Amino acid sequence: MRTIDDFTRPLEYLAPVDKHLGDIVRAWAEREVMPYRRQYDEDWEAHRLIEPAFRSLMGELGFQRMLFPEDVGGWGFGHSGYTATIACRAFEEIARADSGMAVAFGVLFWPLVMICNEPHVNRRLCEELAPMFCDTTAPCFAANAMTEPQGGADIENMEIVGGSTIETTAVLDGDEWVINGHKLWPTNSGGVADLFGVVCTTKAGSRDLDDFAFIFVPAKNPGCTQSGPYQKAGMAADKNGDIWFEDCRVPSWYRAHGPGLDAMYFKEVISFGNMGSTAFVVGALMNVYEILKDFCTEQTYRGKPLKENDDIAGVLADFARDIDICRILAYQCARMIDRPDLYGERWSDEIVAKGRGYKYFACDRAVEDLKKAMNIMGAHGSDRLWDVEKHWRDVKIVQLWMGGKQLCQMEVARWFYECETL
C-alpha cells in the first residue's frame, strides 16, 4: 500500500541518524499532536494542549539541544555536516501533524544558527546560553526578533536596503549594549520566548553592513517586554506578538560576531528559513495526500471509488507530482546548505536566491493544490473534521512570511538576471 514514505527523498543526502530521528518525531506527532490538533485553534492563547506536546518533544525527548556542541550538553548537529538535512526531516514530520508547531520548533533554532553552526561557532555564547536549553526538561524557546512595524520584511532585503530601515538601535555603553526599539510578529513572541536574537543597527539609517548587528537578549532582562499573542487565521501553535526594548542592557559579547560578520551570517539564517518553509509545506501536503487518498478510496461515484474516475485521477496525479517535486526541492535546498564545499557558502547570494525560489514555488503549488483537494471533497473539504482547511490556512501563512512572494521573486531575479535596481 502506498504511503507518504513513497514520495521521493534523495537517499544519498540523508544523515545516518535520519530514520531513527524521523521515527521518533513521527511517533510523537501521531501520539501527542494529531489527536488534538483540531482543538488548537481555540487553544491559541492558553496553549493548554499545545504546551505539553512541546514539553515532550523539546524538553523530555531533548530536541531543543540539537544544535549545541556536545561538550556543553547539546547533540552537536551544528558541526555534523547534516544540520539542514536533519532539520528538513524533523520539520516535515512535525508539519504533517501541525505546521504552526513545526514553525515554533524550527524558529527555536533560527537565531541559534548564528552561533552554533560551523564554521562560525561562538564558543563563549554557546557555553553561556546552552544551560537554558540543555539543563532542563521544560521547553525553551528562542525567537528571531527581526520584523518591525514600519518596515516589515525590508530588513531581509539586504542587497537594496542594506539595513537602513532598521529602527531598533544598539548603542555600546562601556561593556554593555543598550537596545531600544519595537519588534512585531516574531514567531515565539507573544510571551513564549526565553531568548531573543535581535536584529538591530548601531547607526540608525545606515546602509553600511558593518552597522548591522545581531545581539542576543534573554527575555527576562529588564527593559524587555512582550505583549500577549495575536489571534490569527491559522498557526495557533506559533504565538506572535510585540516586543519592546527600552534601555535594555546586555553584555557586549552578546553580539553574535561583530561588524560585517553579523550581516553576512544573517543571510545564512535566511537560507535556513527558506529550507524550513519548504519543508513545512511538504509536511502539510503529505498529510493532505493521506486524507485525500482515504476520501477518494471510500467515496464512490457511479458505482466505483472516486479515485477511479479519470477526471479525479488527473487532479490526484497533479497533487502527487507536486508533492514529489517539492519534497525533492526541500532536500536539495538542505543539501546545498550542508555542503558548502560543493555549492558555495550557505550565506551566499546564490544560495539565498535559490532557496527563495524553492520556497515560493512550493508555497504557490501548495495553495493551489489544497484548493483543488477541497473542491474534490466538496462540503467535506472546508469541514474542520477533515483538517484540509486547517492545512490550507497554515500554508497560506507560510506563503506570506519572509517577505512573501514578492521579495522571493526579486531576489531570484537579482541573482539569475543580474538586476541592479529591484
Question: In this structure, are 125 and 202 located in the same domain?
Answer: no
User: Is residue 326 located within the same domain as residue 192?
Assistant: no
Dig out the grid coordinates for 376 from the structure: 474534490
Whether the pLDDT of residue 153 is over 90: the answer is no
Q: 3-state class of 344 per DSSP?
A: coil
Task: State the virtual CA torsion across 132, 133, 138, 143 in degrees, nearest 10.
Answer: 90
Distance CA 257, CA 120 (A): 8
- Same domain (yes/no): 223, 312: no
The three grid cell numbers given for residue 358, joined into one nine-digit string = 524553492
What is the bridge-based pairing of β-strands 195-201 and 142-145? Answer: parallel
Question: What pLDDT shows up at residue 26?
Answer: 98
Is residue 56 pLDDT above 90, yes or no? yes
The CATH number of residue 191's host domain is 2.40.110.10
Q: Residue type for 56, please? A: S
Q: What is the domain range of residue 174? A: 143-261
Position 112 in a domain? yes
Both 103 and 160 in a single domain? no
More confident residue, 155 or 197: 197
Residue 45 has pLDDT above 80, yes or no: yes
Asked which of 92, 107, 140 is the last residue of a domain, the reply is: 140
Q: Are residues 213 and 248 in the same domain?
A: yes
Query: In angstroms, rounded to a whole number, what is the distance separating the alpha carbons of residues 120 and 318?
Result: 42
Same domain, 196 and 155: yes
- Residue 221: which of 200, 199, 249 has the closest Cα? 249
Is residue 267 scored above 90 in pLDDT?
Answer: yes
Share of the chain above pLDDT 90, in %: 95
- Which three cell numbers mark 330? 526541500
C-alpha–C-alpha distance, residues 192 and 139, integer Å: 10
What's the average model confidence in pLDDT over 380-390?
A: 95
Total domains in the fold of the chain? 3
Do 411 and 275 share a structural domain? yes
The verdict on 100 and 39 lying in the same domain is yes
Please tell me whether residues 119 and 194 are part of one structural domain. no
Residue type present at position 400: L
Residues 155 and 114 in one domain: no
Give the Cα separation of 289 and 319 in Å (integer).
Answer: 8
Tell which residue, 395, 411, 144, 109, has the closest CA to residue 278: 395
Domain assignment present for residue 422? The answer is: no
Answer whether residue 151 is part of any domain. yes
Give 122-171 as a 3 state SS string. CHHHHHHHHHHHHCCCCCCCEEEECCECCCEHHHHCHHHHCCCCCCCEEE
Alpha helices, DSSP H only, in 227-348?
261-298, 310-338, 340-343
What is the reported pLDDT for 160?
83
Structural domain ending residue among the three candidates 118, 140, 162: 140
* pLDDT tens digits for range 90-139: 999 999 999 999 999 999 999 999 999 999 999 999 999 999 999 999 99
- Percent over 70 (pLDDT), the chain: 100
Amino acid of residue 171: V
Average pLDDT, integer, range 332-336? 98
Residue 154 has pLDDT above 80, yes or no: no
Question: Is residue 62 in some structural domain?
Answer: yes
Mean pLDDT rounded to a whole number for the chain:
96
Q: Is the pLDDT of residue 152 over 80?
A: no
Is 88 in the same domain as 65?
yes
Helix (H, G, I), strand (E, B) or coil at 401: coil
Tell me which residue has cell 510523537. Answer: 28
